[in-house]
Amino acid sequence: MKIYGDSISGPGLKVTWVADSLGRSYEWIETSVIASQTLTPAFLVMNPTGQVPAVMLDDGRSLAQSNAIILHLVEGSNLIPSDAYQRAKMLE
Ligand SMILES: N[C@@H](CCC(=O)N[C@@H](CS)C(=O)NCC(=O)O)C(=O)O
């Protein structure tokens, strides 16, 4: 998995913290918002909103929005509660 993020931006770091907690390997692709690297045609294909973070999964699919990415990563792990109420509290 490749994580496109800006190291001065919290949402991308959140994704790496979860990936690290899960022991998932990833490649960090530094993508500067200030240098408009989020607005290149290649980046916009991955995330049309032009925001980091975005990830490129190993199967070639991309995903944006830190909480959506995190939810995808934690699926089936002990970082996501099995109890419906606790899961909703996590999303809250
Ligand atoms: N809701 C988004 C927020 C992402 C976000 O705000 N990213 C900022 C950096 S912290 C960004 O890429 N800004 C560039 C822009 O909006 O043009 C998430 O959680 O992933």
47 pocket-lining for ligand 1 (C-beta < 6 Å): no
Of the pLDDT bands very low, low, confident and very high (cuts 50, 70, 90), residue 32 is very high
End-to-end CA distance of the chain: 27
Instruction: Compute the radius of gyration of the chain from its Cα atoms.
Output: 14
Of the pLDDT bands very low, low, confident and very high (cuts 50, 70, 90), residue 23 is very high
Q: Model confidence over 37-90: pLDDT tens digits?
A: 999 999 999 999 999 999 999 999 999 999 999 999 999 999 999 999 999 999
5 pocket-lining for ligand 1 (C-beta < 6 Å): no
DSSP 2-53: EEEE-TT-HHHHHHHHHHHHHT---EEEE--TTTTGGGSHHHHHH-TT--S-
Distance 65 CA to ligand 1 centre (A): 8
13 pocket-lining for ligand 1 (C-beta < 6 Å): no
Q: For 2-91, which CATH class?
A: alpha beta
**Confidence (pTM):** 0.94
Best of 7, 16, 34, 51 to mutate for ligand 1, by most ligand atoms within 8 A of CB?
Answer: 51
Length of the chain in terms of residues written = 92
Instruction: Tell me the domain boundaries of the chain.
Output: 2-91
